[in-house]
């Protein structure tokens, strides 16, 4: 632990982990045509429930005489599962409201995000600031020996390793499998998918639930690792909105989503480094605003066609390739309802 730069990069990867997980989850959900705007509330509520579940089980097990290390090993996965369940339930509620009750996904999501935070604060009051089980970093065999990269990427917690797996898994599933094709079809042209015999709404439920479970996992990554424990006010509040923006920045593509998450985490770290750099006197608040300004700028870039125009400057062969990577159109049927009876 000598080099400040390496340490900082390692911290960036750690801090980006929940953003990566939540944004990938949301990417999957949105690819299937459902927008889960309740990310912020989901993360906060699942963080709280995940911590409380892990804490309670841990206390019960150690109280029953089990060794602390064993108890933690059992308590953390249970906490994670509970958090994932909460995240999935919230996403499914949005899906039900949209599919069965024809309610606007954005409206339901917005209500749920506010409700999630209040519910977490209300129910979590008595669990604030108590030490509970935490997922510790695991030095990854072999890979951690790689110079530089080993220090940055492979001395992380299980959550971060899971996020690596998710990045590639999500990419593979979305773009290299038949099921992924169906998933995307449901979000792009549900009528066409339906005509081909895909049961559109069943898939939408499935991927809303799956994406929501990942959002819950992100919540657990906070309360069981990165911002261990539970606090009032919830110390991860606001990150859900950033994750939502990252999905757009990422053009609904796992690789670019990850890039966005690391970029945001990096900028935050930069703000914190600048503060203690003697000679630079910038108001802290200006630094705090940087990620949000960047959020607008990136959305502007991906929405205004600036990228499309820039692509034209590339040689023809590269254009198609680059367009595939930089594609930024949302799934065409995002946020709309599909009625199988009418086939539209």
| 32 counts as binding other proteins under rule CB under 8 A | no
User: Applying CB under 8 A, which of residues 28, 57, 85, 121 lies at the interface with other proteins?
Assistant: 121
CB of 100 to other proteins, least distance (A): 7
Q: Which of 179, 305, 325, 343 is close enough to bind other proteins by CB under 8 A?
A: 305
Binding of residue 150 to other proteins (CB under 8 A)? no
Q: Which residue in the set 13, 35, 47, 80 belongs to the binding site for other proteins (CB under 8 A)? A: 35
Q: How far apart are CA 244 and CA 252, in angstroms?
A: 11
The neighbour count for residue 105, using CB atoms within 10 Å, is: 23
User: How many chain residues bind other proteins (CB under 8 A)?
Assistant: 85
Nearer CB in complex with other proteins: 112/170: 112
**Least distance in angstroms from the C-beta of 107 to other proteins:** 5
Shortest reach from residue 101's CB to other proteins, in Å: 3
Of the candidate residues 77, 232, 267, 326, the single one contacting other proteins (CB under 8 A): 232
Indicate whether 286 belongs to the interface with other proteins (CB under 8 A): yes
**Phi first, then psi: what are they for 241, rounded to 5°?**
-65, -40
Task: Note whether 134 binds other proteins by CB under 8 A.
Answer: yes
Q: Does 275 bind other proteins (CB under 8 A)?
A: yes
Residue in 70, 125, 176, 324 binding other proteins, rule: CB under 8 A: 125
With b meaning 16 or more CB within 10 Å and e meaning fewer, what string describes 127-153?
beeeebbbbebeebeeebeeeeeebbb
| Residue of 289, 310, 314, 318 that binds other proteins (CB under 8 A) | 289
SS (H, E, C) the chain: CCCHHHHHHHHHHHHHHHHHHHHHHHHHHHHCCCCCCCHHHHHHHHHHHHHHHHHHHHHHHHHCCCCHHHHHHHHHHHHHHHHHHHHHHHHHHHHHHHHCCCCCHHHHHHHHHHHHHHHHHHHHHHHCCCCCCCCCCCCCCCHHHCCCHHHHHCCCCHHHHHHHHHHHHHHHHHHHCHHHHHHHHHHHCHHHHHHCCCCHHHHHHHHHHHHHHHHHHHHHHHHHHHCCCCCCCCCCCCHHHHHHHHHHHCCCCHHHHHHHHHHHHHHHHHHHHHHCCCCCCCCHHHHHHHHHHHHHHHHHHHHCCHHHHHHCCCCHHHHHHHHHHHCCCCCCCCCCCCCCCCCC
Q: Is 313 in the site for other proteins (CB under 8 A)?
A: no
CA-based radius of gyration for the chain: 21
Contact pattern for other proteins over residues 68 through 97, marking x by CB under 8 A: -----------------------------x
Interaction between residue 245 and other proteins (CB under 8 A): yes
If one asks whether residue 37 binds other proteins (CB under 8 A), the answer comes out as: yes
Q: Which of residues 166-225 bind other proteins (CB under 8 A)?
A: none
Smallest gap from Cβ 170 to other proteins, in A, equals 20
**Which of 117/162 has CB closer to other proteins?**
117
CA angle 304, 307, 313 (to 5 degrees): 135
Contact flag: residue 39 with other proteins (CB under 8 A): no
- Any contact of residue 15 with other proteins (CB under 8 A)? yes
User: Shortest CA distance to 108 belongs to which of 124, 123, 122, 97?
Assistant: 97
Minimum CB distance to other proteins smaller for 2 or for 313: 2
Report 94-113 residues binding other proteins (CB under 8 A).
97, 100-108, 110-112
Q: What is the smallest separation between the CB atom of 317 and other proteins, expressed in angstroms?
A: 26
Region binding other proteins by CB under 8 A among candidate stretches 133-141, 161-169, 194-202, 254-262: 133-141
Q: Which of 70, 145, 177, 304 binds other proteins (CB under 8 A)?
A: 304
Q: Does 343 bind other proteins (CB under 8 A)?
A: no
């Amino acid at each position: 632990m000598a080099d400040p730069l390496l340490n900082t990069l390692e911290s960036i990867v750690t801090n980006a982990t929940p953003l990566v997980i939540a944004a990938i989850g949301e990417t999957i959900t949105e690819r299937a045509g459902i927008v889960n705007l309740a990310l912020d509330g989901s993360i906060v509520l699942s963080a709280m429930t995940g911590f409380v579940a892990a804490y309670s089980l841990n206390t019960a097990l150690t109280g029953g005489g089990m060794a602390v290390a064993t108890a933690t090993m059992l308590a953390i996965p249970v906490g994670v599962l509970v958090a994932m369940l909460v995240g999935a339930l919230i996403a499914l509620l949005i899906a039900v409201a949209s599919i069965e009750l024809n309610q606007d996904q954005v409206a339901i999501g917005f209500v749920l995000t506010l409700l999630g935070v209040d519910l977490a604060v209300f129910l979590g009051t008595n669990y604030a600031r108590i030490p509970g089980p935490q997922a510790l970093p695991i030095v990854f065999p072999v890979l951690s020996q790689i110079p530089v990269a080993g220090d940055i990427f492979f001395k992380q917690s299980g959550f971060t390793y899971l996020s690596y797996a998710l990045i590639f898994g999500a990419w593979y599933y979305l773009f290299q499998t038949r099921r992924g094709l169906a998933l995307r079809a449901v979000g792009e042209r549900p009528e066409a998918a339906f005509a081909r015999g895909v049961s559109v709404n069943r898939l939408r439920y499935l991927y809303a639930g799956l994406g929501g479970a990942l959002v819950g996992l992100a919540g657990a990554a906070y309360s069981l690792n990165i911002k261990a424990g539970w606090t009032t006010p919830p110390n991860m509040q606001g990150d859900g909105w950033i994750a939502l923006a990252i999905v757009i920045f990422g053009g609904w593509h796992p690789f670019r989503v990850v890039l966005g998450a690391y970029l945001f985490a990096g900028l935050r770290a930069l703000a914190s480094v600048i503060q203690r750099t003697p000679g630079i006197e910038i108001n802290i608040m200006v630094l705090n605003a940087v990620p949000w300004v960047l959020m607008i700028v990136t959305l502007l870039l991906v929405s205004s066609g600036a990228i499309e125009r820039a692509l034209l400057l590339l040689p023809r062969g590269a254009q198609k390739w680059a367009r595939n990577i930089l594609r930024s159109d949302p799934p065409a049927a995002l946020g709309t309802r599909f009625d199988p009876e009418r086939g539209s």
